[in-house]
Copies of this chain bind each other. A is one copy, B any other.
Amino acid sequence: MTVGRRAGSYVCGVDAAMDVIGGKWKVLILWALHMRPHRFGELRRELPGVTEKVLAAQLRELEADGIVHREVYEEVPPRVEYSLTPRGETLNEALEPLGAWGKANVLAEPVPAEPIG
């Protein structure tokens, strides 16, 4: 398994990780799969503005990097479920501090002064 597309040319771990999560929708996919497995259409509906082509491409890259697992059910209407691999779950855990930072420093921006509590 080769993780990342720039194999071998990384300066440091963060650099390498950025290559894996660098797609426009990847962290949102991880965020969605963090909750529960998703079907393709579910993901598409939850990511505002993503197209099938791009979603499929990002999922394929994440799959190639061993982050998501793709399970095909040979059923009457074809069903495919995407879930996090163990490696994907550890990645999501590693992203949590970053998410907290973003929430505190980017999302919660219009803070005039001290929070009340």
> A residues bordering B, Cβ < 8 Å?
1-4, 7, 10-22, 27-28, 30-31, 48, 87, 90-91, 93-107, 109, 111
Say yes or no: B17 contacts A106, CB within 8 Å. yes
Q: How far is it, in angstroms, between the C-alpha of A63 and the C-alpha of B75 when the chains are bound?
A: 53
Contact of A18 (CB < 8 Å), options: B13, B14, B21, B103: B21
B residues in contact with A27, CB < 8 Å: 14-15, 18
- What are 10 sample pairs from A and B whose C-beta atoms fall under 8 A apart? A3-B109, A7-B109, A12-B31, A12-B99, A12-B103, A13-B99, A13-B100, A13-B104, A13-B106, A94-B101
A interface, over-half SS:
helix
Q: Which of A4, A22, A97 has the most CB of B within 10 A?
A: A97
A106 touches B31 (CB 8 A): no
Rounded to whole angstroms, the CA-CA distance of A114 and B2 in the bound complex is 15
- Chain B residues with Cβ under 8 A from A109's Cβ? 1-3, 7
Chain B residues in 8 Å Cβ range of A91: 101, 105
